[in-house]
Structure 1
Amino acid sequence: MARPNPSYGAGVFRRRIRLHAAANTVSVALEDGNHGFRIQLRHDGERVTDIGVDALRHPFDTCPEAAGPLQRIVGHRLDSPMQALRDRVVPGENCTHLFDMAALAVSHAGHSDAVLEYDMAVEDDKGRPARVDIRCNGRQVHAWEVEAHHVVAPPALAGKPMMRGFHAWAAACFDGPELEAAIALQRAYFVAQSRRFSFDPPEANPGIADGMPQGSCYSYNPGAVERALRSAGTVRDFTHAADKLLRFEP
């Protein structure tokens, strides 16, 4: 059973995603306190032809298996709507983060020689509104204050949920790059909640002990969750070390 993290309240969850679109290839790298992944998506200008996954750091020993269901993306038309990708690949049957990275790669597959870097920061809850923000290539896109999983500032967004119901209001408020950044920030906020807990010793915290709903991600689905053992020594604290993100240090 996870215990409260005694360091929670004094830190910042950080996540960085870097995307590079070249001719017929899109590479995406992601690192945060819990994860380190790289993918390379190949396409012929019309459809996805291949996707490779490099799972460097992950919460459970079952997580790398999610490279399997992600292969359903091969053959997906690049000009299809996002819902078509979700129907084909099914997010809940995949690693959440690999799916998000693949969706980003598809969205930017036509932007040859494009480089995009998202930096997300989510303050620990200190008993007052916590700042959450995202920058794209150094430029701030969103900066919100959040309390009890709801936005409290800016005033125009006050009361909007950061968990269930987020995507509906975000899609109504933003589009294009602003919507893409908002979705990335919400995902970082969701993962940042893991900072509240300590999962040591890992052998006492298998996946099935988390009580997560079926379909939360690959490792929480039947057939995987019963086998999912927590990886040891994989949690990082980048509060004061943002420069180390995407170095994938051991």
Structure 2
Amino acid sequence: METLQFAYDNLSLIGSRALEHIAIVGVAVSIAVVTGVPIGLAITQSKRAADFVLYLASMLITIPSIALFGLMIPLLSPIGYGIGYVPAVIAVILYSQLPIIRNTYTAIADVDPALREAGIGMGMSALQRLRQVEIPLAMPVIMAGIRTAVVMNIGVTAIAAYIGAGGLGTFISRGISQTDPRQLITGAVAVSILAIVVDLCLAFVQKLLTPKGLATGAAA
């Protein structure tokens, strides 16, 4: 009951911290999409390049989040951004690369070769086939990668409170430092609810972006 009362008394603060959280994840994942999707498309042309890039992205995601945030401090301090919003965004961008690149690469590589041949037979250029055939067919898998990156990094961003980035992780860090279970539970539950709500919203967007033929086939 004390935790519920604490959450009720601090609804406005929870809301503002949630907006900070969304600002970090939203900006970072948007940048990751702009960089990761083209990389995923490019590496479909070379198996060796794909193996190298996916291995490198896998290495990045194995770095513990608290260690990566800590590394940002000495790297960005000389330009005045050692703590706060900027290092948090950069860390989340790095963590977002693997699911976005991997899903983009897998989705494009798995497009039915017969459909590519049909596009060639219709006189489409490589760019036209990519834009009008391959990307629409790959979109559900690409969106699944984006959803994975977003949900994963909503949790990772909670750690960013330790470098002064704000967000819902502030409740968790203060709950630990002050031995206050009310703040700890409030922060943990708020992060979980935010992840669920955002994932449901992205699932709706994924449904909208899925070609009707694929959606009908999946339903059947």
Structure with more of its chain in helix, by fraction: 2
TM-score bin (small chain):
under 0.3
**Which of 1 and 2 has greater Rg?**
2
Q: TM-score, normalised by structure 2?
A: 0.27
Structure with more of its chain in strand, by fraction: 1
